[in-house]
Structure 1
Amino acid sequence: MAFEHPLAVLQPGDLNRDRGDLLNSSTWRFLAQGDSWFSIGQLPPWATSNILYNIRLPDSAAAVSLASPGKTFAQMIDWEWEVKFATYLAGGNLAYQWDAILLSAGGNDLFDAILTMPNVADPAKAALRLLQDPGLVPVGTSVSRYLRPAGWQAFFAAIEGYFTTLVLKRDGTGSRSPGIPIFVHTYDCPQPRQAQAGPGVGPWLSRAYTSYQIPEGDWLPLTTYIIQQWAQFLGGINAALVARGIANPNIRPVNLIGTLNPAPVDSTGPVGDWENEIHPSPQGYAKLGIALEKQITFA
């Protein structure tokens, strides 16, 4: 099957202009929500790309994107804040009929939990803290020893709750698209390194690992383990939501692990598939777009 049709990426303002006709005339219509992997991840913005801009499909398709850099999953399902997302999805006469939701979510929640320090005053943030106090790291060889089991449990419980909120909105009163697939991608494994996204923006992982006194040789294995645990969690999300009483979650994980080549640990700028520590380069996003588009199916 040929993938010849670039995904037309629309902003909300486009719906009131001529570009809005692209949505109505497209065979597939997507509502996209997400973080920097769907928007921008580098300053200046023109130095990078995103996954959505690199998707090609077998038929005409358009996506209305509400993604923005730094957005957490928790923010995405805050309906008082995400008014357009709530309206386009389940706003009654103002809602659209979608074929699927494209979701890039969880990465910023994950980085927030990794960056949380032991002395954090906020009890909610403290509960989600993922890295173990240096003095409490058990003896062993597995990189999982650097993680707090209680933090993992609380983090995944929170993410499960966010998915629940999203699915209930998709299927609730005012929705014109109940039961549509929610395609959510994993992230690929970045090499923690001193590569900022702009002045004062990052790095993230290397800063946290340094603060927690984690040896540099364990940085990439630990990050890989975390990303793999995230993918494993997504693999079980439908069963978890069914256990909560949701009959048809229809969440479809898209596995992107292994798509990109890690950057050298001592590099400090754009190199290969990575523009900075946690954001792909245009070359990297092109690879991710190909990997994602092949997993968008409606069977």
Structure 2
Amino acid sequence: MFMDHLACFTPADLAGSTPPDLSAFRWRLLAQGDSWFSNSRDKLNAHANLLQELVFKGQTAAVNCAGTGNALSHMVDLESSADFVRLLSGPDAPAWDGVLLSVGGNDLIAAARTPAHDAAGNPIPLELRLMRRQTEWGPPSAGVARYFSEPGWATYAEYLRANVKHLLSLRDQGPSAGKPVFMHCYAVPMPRPAGAESNDDLGAASGPWLYPAMKAYGVPAADWAAVSRLMVFHLAQLLKGMAADSEGFPGLFVFDSTTVPLALAAPGSTGISGDWHNEIHLNHSGCFKIARAWSEHIEMVLEGKHLVPVPTGRKGRVK
């Protein structure tokens, strides 16, 4: 069956002298997110924008409000996302068939990078960071969880839930009220000295991200990959838990990208390796693998063929 790539536009395209005719598309989506949706030139050249690899049976368009920089962006900052807010809930907002969100991953990385001490040398409380100092490590029997701050995770989880609820409330203030919001989980990065290129739109290199945090906290190199996996799987469980809470997070659909087999980057590598462009961003092959699976998930929901909850003890049915 022939599949069409997602047609990606920007808010600037809509405001241009010859705006695209969105009515010509079967599905019309609004997108916002972190660096996995970034429009930066070097990411597009590397085919490392997840949206670019989405494909659908019917012609589908998305207006992508994500930024152009390579630097870490935190959970959608609505003060600097005026286009997204306007297109989602403004007085002249179009009616979208769905919203694509790529959020939470960069916040997770930033939380992992929170140092043990502030600039003045004062200890940062455990509930404000994801990593434990060596004097706080649990017993070896706890495995790599001994390095992980559960109090810090609770803070992060509360923060993410509140932000996603706010985004859903914005959706319901506009003409797209009740339409599906699609989020993806993340893939497990290998902590390694592989930052972004210096020729990005900001003119400055960024990263690596997890690698210096693992070194700063003294985590043995043999455990780096497992610590990364622990954090990403925590995030996946959190996102899937929100999607399962149809009352608290109505119309939220989460695709578990941790189930997509990817080629890991080689430990210690400094550039493109496996399915990774750098330490935390996928390359063309990585985006291709996740996007093709996510596309199917999105289209099933748009067509009303997703699984719906049923009482315990019975299998899910297809609408």
Check whether the contact 1:164–1:241 (CA below 8 A) recurs between aligned residues: no
- 2: CA distance, partners of 1:262 / 1:7: 27
Shift of 1:36: 1.4
- 1: CA distance, partners of 2:244 / 2:46: 40
What is residue 212 of structure 2 aligned with on the other side? 207
Q: 2:239 aligns with which of 231, 234, 239?
A: 234
Q: Which runs of structure 1 show a deviation greater than 6 angstroms over 4 or more consecutive aligned residues?
A: none
- 3-state DSSP of counterpart to 2:190: coil
Check whether the contact 1:42–1:197 (CA below 8 A) recurs between aligned residues: no
Shift of 1:44: 7.1
Matched, 1:223 2:228: yes
RMSD, aligned α-carbons: 2.2
- 2: CA distance, partners of 1:152 / 1:44: 30
Q: State the Cα deviation string for residues 103-128 of structure 1 (Å, max 9, x = none).
A: 110111111100000113699x8543
- Amino acid paired to 2:93: A
What is residue 129 of structure 2 aligned with on the other side? 129
Aligned-pair identity in percent equals 33
- 2: CA distance, partners of 1:134 / 1:219: 15
- 2: CA distance, partners of 1:41 / 1:259: 26
Shift of 1:20: 3.1
- 3-state DSSP of counterpart to 2:111: helix
Check whether the contact 2:112–2:129 (CA below 8 A) recurs between aligned residues: yes
- 3-state DSSP of counterpart to 1:32: strand
TM-score of the two chains, using structure 2 as the length reference:
0.84
Shift of 1:74: 4.6
What is residue 253 of structure 1 aligned with on the other side? 254
Shift of 1:229: 1.0
What is residue 151 of structure 2 aligned with on the other side? 150
- Amino acid paired to 2:90: G
TM-score of the two chains, using structure 1 as the length reference:
0.89
Shift of 1:207: 0.8
- 3-state DSSP of counterpart to 1:117: coil
Which sections of structure 1, spanning at least 5 residues, go unmatched?
none
What is residue 267 of structure 1 aligned with on the other side? 269
Shift of 1:185: 0.3
CA 1:189–1:63 in structure 2 vs 1: closer, same or farther (change >3 Å)?
same
- Amino acid paired to 1:187: Y
Check whether the contact 1:38–1:51 (CA below 8 A) recurs between aligned residues: yes
Shift of 1:42: 8.3
Shift of 1:239: 5.0
Q: State the Cα deviation string for residues 113-152 of structure 1 (Å, max 9, x = none).
A: 00000113699x8543110112110112421111111100
1:1-299 map, 5 Å: 2=1, 4-17=3-16, 20-39=19-38, 43=42, 46-68=45-67, 69=69, 70-75=72-77, 78=78, 80-92=79-91, 94-120=92-118, 127-141=127-141, 142-172=143-173, 175-199=174-198, 200-238=205-243, 242=247, 246=248, 249-257=250-258, 258-296=260-298, 297-298=300-301, 299=304
Which sections of structure 2, spanning at least 5 residues, go unmatched?
199-204, 305-319
- 2: CA distance, partners of 1:86 / 1:259: 35
Check whether the contact 2:35–2:106 (CA below 8 A) recurs between aligned residues: no
- Amino acid paired to 2:282: P
CA 1:44–1:184 in structure 2 vs 1: closer, same or farther (change >3 Å)?
closer
- 1: CA distance, partners of 2:234 / 2:94: 34
Shift of 1:67: 1.0
Q: State the Cα deviation string for residues 211-253 of structure 1 (Å, max 9, x = none).
A: 00001111111111111111111111145573xxx4x611100
